[in-house]
Structures are given as C-alpha cells and as structure tokens.
C-alpha cells in the first residue's frame, strides 16, 4: 500500500523525519529540535461493540495508543468519522462524546475534524503527540536477552466476533470493553521511567504479527511462553467455538511461515495468538537487569504486566508450551 508513496518520496532530503516510510513502526516521528519531536498517527474502524459511547471511547483509545507506543504524550487530535445519513443523530452524538471524553481523560484536546457519509459507521482520530527523540520507543529497539512484557490480555477479536454472532455473554463483553477503553498512558510512562527502547502496541496484526515486526526490525528472534500469555476470562471458550474474525485467518496466512509452535497445540490455541486486537496493550522489551524493578514499579502504579517470553538470537518467533 505504501509503495507508491515511497516511490515519490524515496531519496528526498528529509533528515528530520526520524520514523516514517522506512521500517514499519506505529507512528511517524518528525524532529522539531534536539529534545522534542512530533508524533503523528491516525486510525479508525467500524463498530466493534453495540453501545455507541463505548465504540467512540474504544476508537479514541486505540488511535491514541500509537502515540504511547512511540513513548510519546498525545496533546491534540482531530475526529475522522463516516456516518450513514439515516443514522439517528443521537447515536452519532454518543460516538463522538465517547471519543471526546476518552481524549479528555488522556489530556488531549479534539480540535475539530472531518465527517463524510458512508453506509457503515467508521470513527477514529488523527492524533498528535510530543516525544523526546532521544527516549522514543521503536520496533527496532529490542536486544537479545530482553524480556517481553505485555500490558493487556488478548482475546478482543474473538470476543467481539462472538458479540456480532450474538453468542457472547454480557459479562464477557463488559470485561473486553473495560480493557479496550483503557488507555496505554501508564504503560508508556512505565517504559519511559525505565528508559526502554523497544516497544509496540498489539492491535490488528495480533501478538504474533506485531511481535514479528519487532523481531525483524531489531534483527532478533522472539520466544513466547504460551502458558504465560494472558487472555480474557472466557476468550479460550469462545476460541474453542472458533468465533474468530476474518483478520485472524489473514494474520495466520501472512505471518504464519515465520512462527514455529514447539509442542502440541490445538488449532484454536494457535489462532488465539493470531487474533487481531482492538486497542490492545503495549508489548515492551525490558533488559533483564531492569525487569525486577519494572515489575515492582508496575505493581505500585497499578499497571497490569505479564512477562510472556524473551528476545533471543535468531529470527522469527517460537511459541513454547512452557
């Protein structure tokens, strides 16, 4: 998709574009001076839940997540919305209100935006933030020996698909919504406090897809302990019923050749790691000598964290039963 853009801009002198059209990352970063850079990103999607307010809040949290994944602090955003002409005005208003209140929680001002008509609702943000370029996270900042720390459980894709199929329990939906609405601000602050360099957020390409992007950018392999990976309470139950979204199959097809499962795994277990996430957590690479202190600090700050594996010499991802 970006090839035509790269062909136009490749070779152009843009020394202040620190992160952009090269190796894939979570947002573009433009240097303003030695201590400040601008982080710019955008994201939007169709509804993943029925409640319009929750949908707006989840979409906003998801859009802001890419700023946090670079170690940045968002400050300004614009709405991007496509709404059906026959959508009741109060529904559209609730979507925008959900996004606005989530942005305000993050300390972000939504200063307008753009809306068009479409057959299906779509909503998200253009988000801007600041980061110290000397402290920014990138997907290429992982070293062999780093621990892999995840800050939200998995299973949002299989859960929201069960909701669409009308097979989800209300309490299970509420659990997923609570996690998806959660900002990644504290997780990013934790990474900055410990001067981490490698991070990404786990969203549409799944844990394995985004993990592979980190591995390739950093020139390392990843080893994941399946038993240490956190899931929503009943994600595995829905996975056994194979309520996976189409994106999970796409991820398996695209990334599967670079993933090795060591041991016996059911197909639904494999697919759970390819499950696309909406507003997922951060995946942090933590040097071994910092891990104990980071875990202790996370507990103090009430920031959930799970150690799910490590970076190793090599390439690709190996998933072990643990």
Q: Is residue 137 within 8 Å of residue 159, measured between CB atoms?
A: no
Same domain as 210, residue 67: no
CA 311 to chain centre: 19
Same domain as 67, residue 118: yes
Asked if residue 139 belongs to a domain, the reply is: no
Residue ranges of the chain whose pLDDT lies below 50: 11
Q: With left for phi above 0 and alpha for psi between -120 and 50, is residue 102 left, alpha or beta?
A: alpha
End-of-domain residue from the set 131, 158, 179: 131
Same domain as 73, residue 179: no
Q: pTM for the complete prediction? A: 0.95
The Cα angle at residue 65 between residues 217 and 232, in degrees rounded to 5: 95
End-of-domain residue from the set 65, 96, 131: 131
Asked if residue 228 belongs to a domain, the reply is: yes
Same domain as 305, residue 203: yes
Q: Is residue 129 within 8 Å of residue 74, measured between CB atoms?
A: yes
Same domain as 169, residue 121: no
The Cα angle at residue 86 between residues 85 and 87, in degrees rounded to 5: 95
Output the domain CATH number for residue 17. 3.30.1330.10
User: In the chain, which residue ranges form alpha helices assigned H by DSSP?
Assistant: 3-9, 52-68, 89-105, 156-164, 170-180, 185-193, 206-218, 235-240, 246-255, 267-273, 288-300
Per-residue confidence (pLDDT) for residue 78, from 0 to 100: 98
What is d(CA 99, CA 111) in angstroms, rounded to the nearest whole number? Answer: 12
Per-residue confidence (pLDDT) for residue 23, from 0 to 100: 66
Same domain as 230, residue 123: no
Same domain as 153, residue 118: no
Same domain as 172, residue 109: no
Tell me the pLDDT tens digit for each residue of 220-230.
999 999 999 99
Strand 259-262 to strand 317-320: parallel, antiparallel, or no bridges (unpaired)? parallel
Same domain as 123, residue 203: no
What residues have CB less than 8 Å from 168, skipping those under 6 apart?
159, 162, 238
- Helix 185-193 to helix 288-300 angle (10° resolution) is 140
Same domain as 118, residue 153: no
End-of-domain residue from the set 131, 164, 196: 131
Domain range holding 85? 3-131
Q: Which of 183, 218, 80, 196 is nearest to 131 (CA)?
A: 196
Per-residue confidence (pLDDT) for residue 19, from 0 to 100: 87
Per-residue confidence (pLDDT) for residue 27, from 0 to 100: 86
Q: How many domains does the chain have?
A: 2
Asked if residue 137 belongs to a domain, the reply is: no
Per-residue confidence (pLDDT) for residue 82, from 0 to 100: 98
| Rounded alpha-carbon distances, angstroms, from residue 249 to 226, 281, 314, 317 | 19, 21, 26, 18
Per-residue confidence (pLDDT) for residue 2, from 0 to 100: 57
Output the domain CATH number for residue 225. 3.90.650.10
């Amino acid at each position: 998709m970006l090839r035509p853009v790269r062909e136009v801009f490749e070779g152009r002198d843009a020394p202040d574009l620190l992160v952009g059209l090269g190796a894939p990352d979570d947002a573009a970063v433009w240097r303003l001076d030695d201590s400040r850079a601008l982080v710019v990103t955008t994201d939007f999607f169709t509804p993943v839940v029925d409640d319009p307010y929750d949908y707006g809040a989840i979409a906003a949290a998801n859009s802001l997540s890419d700023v946090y994944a670079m170690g940045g602090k968002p400050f300004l955003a614009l709405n991007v919305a496509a709404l059906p002409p026959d959508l009741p005005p109060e529904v559209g208003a609730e979507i925008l209100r959900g996004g606005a209140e989530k942005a305000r929680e993050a300390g972000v001002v939504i200063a307008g935006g753009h809306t068009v008509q479409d057959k299906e609702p779509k909503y998200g943000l253009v988000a801007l933030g600041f980061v110290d370029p000397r402290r920014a996270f990138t997907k290429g900042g992982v070293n062999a020996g780093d621990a892999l720390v995840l800050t939200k459980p998995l299973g949002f894709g299989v859960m929201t698909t069960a909701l669409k199929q009308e097979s989800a329990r209300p309490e299970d939906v509420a659990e997923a919504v609570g996690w998806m609405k959660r900002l990644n601000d504290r997780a990013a602050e934790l990474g900055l406090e410990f001067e981490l360099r490698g991070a990404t957020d786990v969203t549409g390409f799944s844990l394995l897809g985004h993990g592979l992007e980190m591995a390739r950018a950093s020139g390392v392999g990843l080893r994941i302990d399946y038993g240490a990976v956190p899931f929503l309470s009943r994600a595995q139950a829905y996975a056994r019923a194979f309520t996976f979204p189409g994106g999970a199959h796409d991820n398996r097809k695209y990334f599967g050749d670079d993933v090795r499962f060591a041991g016996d795994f059911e197909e639904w277990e494999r697919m759970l790691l390819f499950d696309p996430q909406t507003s997922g957590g951060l995946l942090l690479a933590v040097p071994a000598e910092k891990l104990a202190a980071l875990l202790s600090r996370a507990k103090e700050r009430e920031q959930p964290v799970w150690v799910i594996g490590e970076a190793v010499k090599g390439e690709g991802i190996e998933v072990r039963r643990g």
